[in-house]
Amino acid sequence: MEQPSVCAKCNEQINDAKCVIVGEKYYHENHFTCSSCSADLSTQQYHQENDDDYYCVDCYSKNIAPKCAACGLAILENIVQLADGVELHNECFVCFKCKKCLTAEYVQDEDKHIVCNECLENSVDKCDSCQKPILDCKITTGGKKFHQSCFKCSKCDSVIEQENHLEQDGQIFHARCLNLQCSFCNEIILSGYYKYQDLLYHIECYEKAKLQLQEEQGQNNNNNTEQLLADVREEVEKEELKLKEEEEQKRKQHEQEEEARKQYEEEKKEQEKKLELEMEKQKQNQNQKENDQQLVEKQTIQDQQNDVQGKKNLSNIIKQFETNSSQVKETQTKSNDNKSHLKVEEPKIEAISNAPTSNQSEPISYKVIPYSVLTSNPPSDIDFTKKEAYLSDEEFQKVFQMNKQEFGVLKAWRQKELKQKHKLF
């Protein structure tokens, strides 16, 4: 008889036919749950941690799963682990520079960034000997860079390791291969040397040789020292003169910039002043226009009042005439007994006409003056209230777009308005 299954969580027998089997372990259906949030795992994906811990995807992602060093999200599968312990998603394992996906092989630049070989070769220094990128140890001397294996003696072609080396004419040598002797102590020069007048010295021997040479040469050496000091002073004076010239040039440049700034500010103020004057002029013109408009309106109202008064006067005359006619008829009726007839002369209504009468004087003759003279510098002996009368017929027609007869029949306010418009008022 088969042994009853025991739940791995509660250690009780599973009598129900429904159970969850995980590997070699059995669970009641409701006992196979998340070790963190107790969610039912029988119907969803889960992750196993150690032997008895099972987690739902959410809890595993938040609390257990490693985090990607690039994007910071949980890594659930396809993890890439670098040599220094850094963990990444497979899709985050890309070159820091060109973003190209990398394989298991990778390199790191000087800043510990993961890069492909191509980008690394383009970003690192190249060996001055083989012209290939330097990916490991780098030796720098005399402004040049070498692989450790390429740092060789130009004479014996062997690698220079811990031995002393010298540079001569742009090439590198073992100190022993050059076999250079100090002109003072006659010993082999194995490190840096000093060259003076085609003679080579140990650095520490040069001062000694200099003192010995001064004792031998005596005054001549003193003269040379003085000449050397004079040369130094001359160089110092030249340098000071150069600095003074640079300072003077900077000062002039500063003055030019300051002058340009002042000129710009003056031009700006001038423009602002012109703008203010223009705005003031426009304001005055607007006020003048409004005043002229008010005068025109007043003149129009006055003309209308005059027309009304004229019509009223005419109406009074007609009424007076009718009254007189009535009185005459009454008088005729009363005098019928005497059989006499009274002849009444009806009053005449005088017509108002602008036509000139025979008693009026002849039209005044005006001399012809050009429009440009009348508007700019008119003669002092003309009638300034009749400037338009001095225009020729052609200029009058050109200025007012009408002849003098048409202008004469216009209302007074309209004539004034046109004269103001054409600067003849």
Structural domain spans, the chain: 218-298, 368-425
Average pLDDT of span 107-130: 70
Higher-pLDDT residue of 111, 42: 42
Q: How many helices (H) and strands (E) does the chain have?
A: 9, 14
pLDDT band for 357, please (50, 70, 90 cuts): very low
Query: pLDDT value at position 27?
Result: 79
Residue 337 confidence (pLDDT): 52
Greater confidence, 4 or 315? 315
Give residue 397's pLDDT.
Answer: 92
Residue 69's nearest CA partner among 53, 60, 81 is 81
- What does the pLDDT read at residue 343? 46
CA angle 208, 214, 215 (to 5 degrees): 95
Query: How far is residue 320's CA from residue 33's CA, in Å, rounded to a whole number?
Result: 127
pTM of the model: 0.28
Task: Check whether 355 has a pLDDT greater than 60.
Answer: no
Which of 406 and 216 is assigned the larger pLDDT? Answer: 406
Give the rounded percent of residues in the chain with a pLDDT score beyond 70: 74
Higher pLDDT pick, 262 / 344:
262
- Please give the pLDDT value at position 402: 92
Best mean pLDDT range from 168-182, 315-329, 410-424: 410-424
Residue 177, judged by CB atoms within 10 A of its CB (0-12, 13-18, 19+), counts as middle
- Report whether pLDDT(119) > 70: yes
> Tokens 């009363």 belong to which residue?
334
DSSP letters of 1-15?
-PPPPBBTTT--B--
Q: Was domain 368-425 assigned CATH 1.10.950.10? A: yes
